[in-house]
């Protein structure tokens, strides 16, 4: 069944107005008509069965019928990735959503050299991935910030999995030893972190430096590998 992320509140018999683009998708691509059913979610009130109440010249009106899943949230896991080229960042946002990240934070490092990004495009990619994978929420995608500034304001209660291409402990054993809780995963740019950045990261008390194996991975591959290892070690895959 079609799933759609909406911003409206959801409750029995409540009218829901999708965006114009979503309305076009429902009527022109999926060919829904008045009375047809779909699933909707907003990240707050769970997943609901809804029906097409009215097809207008511009847009459609949906009506929430009944809740089919209560609201749940995945692990408190953020992905921080140095800005790389647009196509790779788009892949990272899509796969981070599929793999359960609650937030994607974009960092500017000493060696960042990348295209300008459209945050609205990345938000749309995250939304579509959430719709397709059965998630009941959509991860936030933050504006790029300098890595130094991000670390200056860090919440020390959130552990940081520093994917260190110069060497670190095997990821699964290091994560298992560090334990559950709030986490973030940090992926560097193509070319790696500068020596100064690496030194600072390794010195932070909340950092767990890990290796992603014997090969140097591109940023998008590294992000997928790191998220997979985290989920397998202390995430929600076994729950």
CATH of the domain at 23: 2.40.240.20
CATH of the domain at 135: 3.40.1280.10
The predicted model gives 28-34 an average pLDDT of 95
Whether 141 maps to a domain, the answer reads: yes
- Residue 169: is its pLDDT beyond 70? yes
- Residue 173: is its pLDDT beyond 60? yes
Distances (CA, A) of 206 to 159, 160, 183: 5, 6, 10
Confidence (pLDDT) at 70: 98
Whether 239 maps to a domain, the answer reads: no
Tens-digit pLDDT profile for residues 37-88: 999 999 999 999 999 999 998 899 999 999 999 999 889 999 999 999 999 9
Please check whether residues 115 and 223 belong to one and the same domain: yes
Q: Output the pTM of the full model.
A: 0.93
Please check whether residues 10 and 127 belong to one and the same domain: no
Average pLDDT over the chain reads 95
Please check whether residues 105 and 50 belong to one and the same domain: no
| Residue finishing a domain among 42, 69, 96 | 69
Please check whether residues 97 and 50 belong to one and the same domain: no
Please check whether residues 173 and 202 belong to one and the same domain: yes
Q: At what angle do helices 119-133 and 86-98 cross, to 10 degrees?
A: 30
- Structurally, the chain folds into a number of domains equal to 2
Report the distance separating Cα 26 and Cα 111, nearest Å. 43
Range of the structural domain that residue 14 is part of: 3-69
167 closest CA partner among 210, 130, 120, 124: 210
Confidence (pLDDT) at 167: 85
Please check whether residues 124 and 177 belong to one and the same domain: yes
Please check whether residues 18 and 83 belong to one and the same domain: no
């Amino acid at each position: 069944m079609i799933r759609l992320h909406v911003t409206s509140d959801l409750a029995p018999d409540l009218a829901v107005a999708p965006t114009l683009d979503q309305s076009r998708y429902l009527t022109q691509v999926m060919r829904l008509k008045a009375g047809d059913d779909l699933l909707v979610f907003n990240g707050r009130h769970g997943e609901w069965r809804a029906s097409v109440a009215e097809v207008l010249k511009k847009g459609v009106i949906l009506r929430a019928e009944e809740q089919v899943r209560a609201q749940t949230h995945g692990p408190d896991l953020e992905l921080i990735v140095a800005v790389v080229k647009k196509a790779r960042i788009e892949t990272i946002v899509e796969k981070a959503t599929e793999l359960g990240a609650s937030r994607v934070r974009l960092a500017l490092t000493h060696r960042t050299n990348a295209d300008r990004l459209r945050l609205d495009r990345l938000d749309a990619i995250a939304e579509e991935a959430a719709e397709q994978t059965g998630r009941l929420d959509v991860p936030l995608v933050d504006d790029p910030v300098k890595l130094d500034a991000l670390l200056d304001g860090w919440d020390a209660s959130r552990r940081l999995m520093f994917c260190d291409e110069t060497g670190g402990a095997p990821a699964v054993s290091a994560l298992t030893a560090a334990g559950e809780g709030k986490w973030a995963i940090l992926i560097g740019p193509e070319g790696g972190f500068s020596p100064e950045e690496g030194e600072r990261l390794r010195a932070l008390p909340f950092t767990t430096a890990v290796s992603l194996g014997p090969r140097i991975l591109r940023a998008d591959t590294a992000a997928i590998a790191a998220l997979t290892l985290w989920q397998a070690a202390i995430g929600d895959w076994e729950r």
